[in-house]
Copies of this chain bind each other. A is one copy, B any other.
Amino acid sequence: MRPSRRAADEMRAVSFERNVSKHAEGSCLVKFGDTHVLCTASLEDHMPAWLRGGSKGWVTAEYGMLPRATGDRMRREAATGKQGGRTQEIQRLIGRSLRAVVDLRALGERQITVDCDVLQADGGTRTAAITGGWIALHDCLTWMGERKMIDRDKVLKDHVAAVSCGIYKDALVADLDYVEDSAAQTDANFVMTGKGGLVEIQGTAEGEPFSPAQFLGLLELAQGSIAKLVALQKQAIA
C-alpha cells in the first residue's frame, strides 16, 4: 500500500496552467500533485560563445528551488554563492531532454532558455520540470512561429516528458512522491518522446542493488506513465 493510497501505476494529479507569465514568450505552471514548478521559456538574443557564428541555435535550461519549497528551509543558492551539484545535474538533464526533440538548425542562431523554478516540492521536481518545460518551450516556439521567425513544426520534432519510478517496500511504483522517494530502495528517472523513444535513463540503487528484471519492470511502468503525460500535454496545447 502506497502512503498516498495510489495504485502502483497511478500517477498523481497532473495539471498544466499556460500563460502564467506576463513577460515570457512561453510559460507553464506544472503540478504533479503537491510538486509545483513554474517554467518560463525566454527567447534571447545572445548565444553561448562556443556556438557563435555557427548555423545552429541552442536550447538550455536552468533550475532553482525557492528556499522554502521544501519541508525545511534550504539556504538560497544565490546567497551561498554557487549552484550545488544537484542543481547543476538537474538543469543539465532538463536541457538535454528538451534539445532531444528540437531541430537546432531549423531554430536558427538563437537561444531559448527554459527556467524551471520549484515553488513547492513533493518529489519528482525534475520530471515535472521536463514535462512542463516542454509546454513552455512549445508556446515560445509558437510565439516565434506566429512572428514568422521559424517554422515551429520543423523545429519541434516531438513531445518529451518524464517520470520517476522506483522500488518502494519491494513494490515497483510510478511517480514517487517525497515520502516514497525518501524511503525508496531504487529510484529511476525516465525521459521519453511522444513516439516512445528513450532520451534519458537514470537509475540509482539507494540501498541494495537492483536486478535487471526489476529494472525492466520500472521501464514498463515508465512507458505507461509517459504515454499518459504526453496525452495530457496534447490536451493542454489543444
Contact = CB atoms under 8 A, between A and B. Distances in A.
Number of copies: 6
A113 B204 CA distance: 21
Contacts of A228: none
Given A64-B78, A117-B66, A192 B209 contact: yes
A198 to B, nearest CB: 5
B198 A211 contact: yes
Q: How large is the interface on A (under 10, 10 to 19, 20 to 34, 35 or more residues)?
A: 35 or more
A3 interface: no
Interface stretch (A9-17, A87-95, A123-131, A142-150): A87-95
Nearest to A100: B205
Contact of A188 (B195, B201, B223): B201
Interface stretch (A20-28, A168-176, A230-238): A20-28
Contacts of A34: 22
Contacts of A80: 78
B201 A202 contact: yes
A53 interface: no
A83 B89 contact: no
A33 to B, nearest CB: 10
Nearest to A193: B209
